[in-house]
Amino acid sequence: MSESLKIAVKNLNVFYGKKQALFDINLNIFSNEVTSLIGPSGCGKSTLIKCFNRMNDLVEICKYDGEVLIDGKNINDTSTDPVSLRTRVGMVFQKPNPFPKSVYDNIAYGPKLHGMYKNKDDLDEIVVSSLQKAGLFNEVKDRLFEPGTGLSGGQQQRLCIARALAVNPEIILMDEPCSALDPIATAKIEELIEELKEKYTIVIVTHSMQQAARVSNRTAYMHMGELVETGLTKNIFSNPEHAKTQDYITGRIG
Amino acid sequence: MSNIIQRNKSEKRFQFYGLLAVGLAIFLLLILLFKIFSTGFSAFNQTYLGVKIQIEKGENLAELDARSTLRKNLRNMFPEAQSRSDKKNLYSLFSPGAYIEFEEMLKAYDGDVIDGYYYFLASDDLDMYFKGTVTRQGNSAGRIKPSQMKFVDEFVKMNLIELQFNRYLLGSADSRNPEMAGILGAIYGSLFAILIAFVTSFPLGVLTAIYLEKLTKQNAFSDLIETNINNLAAVPSIVFGLLGLAIFLNFFELPRSASLVGGLTLGLMTLPTIVIASRSAIKSVPPSIEEASIGLGSSKVQTIFNFTLPLAMPGILTGTIIGIARAIGETAPLLMIGMVAFIVDIPQGPLDASTALPVQIFLWQDSPERAFVERTSAAIIVLLIFLFLLNITAVYLRKKLEKKW
């Protein structure tokens, strides 16, 4: 394990209007690892990962202070352009949300937007390789030009992952990517996460502790907007330091 | 147990009331349509009188005076009409349009001898009699005097009176002679006005909606704008006419009666409808799609133009077409800006004086001639067809642009 720091969160506070959603978060996320965020609903997991690509900027009443350093640079700086930040930090959402376009155009949208290809063949290659990385190519190779919304739920979610991969990000944020999927589709996504961590840094929010245990190297447990405990997944699940974590992973709360 | 019976009864009763309401509405609508169509349909045909035309070789057809030649041939048919008043009675069975038709025929005639029966436009009084709108009482019918009726009877006896397709109704502009009056001028006026209304109000309305929905922060100012837009949609149309009069005619000094001004005024009137429809269409675009776009590194504006607008377009267009359809049928604001004048020329562009279809209907229903009654209904039929086509377009666009997600 490389142990190189990718994202460092320092003293992060987030407010929605007058309500404080995150309290003084400090968290380190390492390259080529899967870090999972667990905790009961409303504890701020989603809010936290949305700080990594500044999706919270879209929420008018959201204010934040503190630092989020990616490769040592504070992305909350005014000098950081959130639009180009989001090409480095891709995101996969809870509900599969393919664009109302063909499978091909779904993937090609990002590269087209950022002019990441030289010619048509180049673009074709990006589309194919993104689909292959997402393990979807064999299933959709005959229907590349059919609507992406016509795929099954699990395929749609992998399409969304392929779409995020197409712009060649460094970090992939996944906000409960399997919560709308059946166990088989979930297993496929988990396999995929396992493969993807070779090249990308992955942060995943999940409600399923088994999933966190299966896929992640590190786990962070959050409760009521506070980061309670963080560490190697095997330690957290076998030997949690904090009583709240213990309660949560054994099912006593949450 | 009795509870269930009572509940079922009340549900049945409610269903019956609903059915009754729908049935009544359809019944009234059918009566209206039947009345309009039965009155207006006859206006699409027109009475023509046959005249035996004989022109011998050696005459230069193009240089003949149509009026006197036609009258001469008429006199040849009715040698008994000798007195001045008799001749006048005979001539007045024809419309002034008959001479114009004859002149055109002479100009276009290929050959040097004419010998045969040709049909020319009859006067509106004869038209009304022949169509049965005016009934015969003794030897007169409506404005046809007994002294004319003898000639009419002659024409009937010779089988030289017939109905032909009314090419004036859809082919010419307004006229003082009902048999020559048409709505082409009004159709052009309406088309220009609607086009201008669409071109001005659609982009303005959609951009306003985008700004209010996506780009501005929710605060007291945006609330104020929102309230005012909602109120504007309920402002009586004649008030928009006054606004058009004050701004476009008095301030910008644009030409009076022009469809440009009419279009701008109707555009102002349609604007709030478009803004409201567009806002609700934009609101109904699933935020997940916009999030996905933002998450891939699109800017706000790219997201709006790549996803929000295309997805909202069916709703926006439906709202727009409803607004435009309302504008097509609008009379009051056009009265205020002078599109109510009597205009004989077909407008060549939006700066020419013109009327619009509903205004033409308004003008004709006010005319004393009996023949304008059926023409009024005919114009209403055309207006309804216009609206029908527009609604078909709306449905078609909606179906075409609608995408599932």
Q: Give the residues across from A28 on adjacent strands.
A: A8
Residue B40 inside a domain? The answer is: no
| A62-114 residue pLDDT tens | 888 899 999 988 998 888 888 889 999 999 998 899 998 899 999 999 999 98
Q: Say which of A58, A114, A160 has its CB closest to residue B297.
A: A114
CA distance A110 to B15: 53
Q: What's the pLDDT band for A1 if we cut at 50, 70, 90?
A: very low
For residue A222, which of A50, A38, A47, A46 has the smallest C-alpha distance? A38
CB-CB contact of A127 with A163 (8 Å)? no
Same-domain pairing of B242 and B284: yes
> What's the whole-number mean pLDDT along residues B5-34?
95
Domains of chain A: 5-249 (3.40.50.300)
- Per the CB < 8 A criterion, the answer to whether B189 and B265 are in contact is no
pLDDT digits (tens, 9 = 90+) for B232-283: 988 999 999 999 999 999 999 999 889 999 999 999 999 999 999 999 999 9
Enumerate the residues of chain B whose CB falls inside 8 A of the CB of residue A109: 293, 296, 306
Order the strands of the B114-121 sheet from edge to edge: B114-121, B45-55, B161-165
Range of the domain at B304: 184-401
Q: Are B380 and B362 in contact (CB under 8 A)?
A: no
Q: Total structural domains in chain B?
A: 2
- Closest CA–CA distance from residue B214 to any residue of chain A (Å): 10
Chain B interface with A: residues with Cβ < 8 Å: 217-218, 286, 288-289, 291-299, 302, 306-307, 311, 403-405
CB A171 within 8 A of CB A85: no
Size of interface A-B (CB pairs under 8 A): 65
Structural domain contains residue B113: yes
We report the CATH number of the domain holding residue B202 as 1.10.3720.10
Same domain assignment for residues B159 and B199: no
* pLDDT, tens digit (0-9, with 9 covering 90-100), for A7-40: 999 999 999 989 999 999 999 999 999 999 998 8
Residue B92: inside a domain? yes
Whether residue B6 lies inside any domain: the answer is no
Residue A207 sits at the chain B interface (C-beta within 8 Å): no
Task: Specify whether B197 is located in the same domain as B108.
Answer: no
Residues with Cβ within 8 Å of residue A90, at least 6 apart in sequence? A53, A164, A165, A167, A169, A171, A172, A173, B295, B296
What is residue A10's three-state secondary structure? strand
Give this prediction's pTM: 0.84
Measure the CA dihedral A153/A156/A160/A163, to 10°. Answer: 170
B340 in the same domain as B216 = yes
Asked whether residue B78 is domain-assigned, the answer is: yes
Candidates B217, B286, B295; nearest CB to A55: B295
In a domain, B13, yes or no: no
- Domain contains B218: yes
Residue B339 and residue B214 in one domain: yes
Residues B142 and B290 in one domain: no
The reply to whether B208 and B109 lie within a common domain is no
Separation of alpha carbons A62 and B213, rounded Å: 18
Here the contacts of B154-157 (C-beta below 8 Å, separation 24 or greater) are B154/B78, B155/B49, B155/B50, B155/B93
Q: Quick one: B98 and B192 in the same domain?
A: no
What average pLDDT does the structure give for chain B? 90
d(CA B240, CA B230): 15
Residues B266 and B312 in one domain: yes
Interface predicted TM-score (ipTM) over 0.90: no
Which amino acid is located at B300 in the chain? K
Apex CA B36: angle with CA B34 and CA B41, to 5°?
95
Indicate if B157 and B190 belong to the same structural domain: no
Q: Quick one: B122 and B159 in the same domain?
A: yes
B247 plus B394 within the same structural domain: yes
Q: What is the mean pLDDT of residues B322-331?
A: 90
Residue B24 lies in a domain: no
- For residues A3 and A143, the model is more confident at A143
Strand pairing category for A171-175 and A73-74:
unpaired
Average pLDDT score, chain A: 89
Contact B297 A60 (CB under 8 A): no
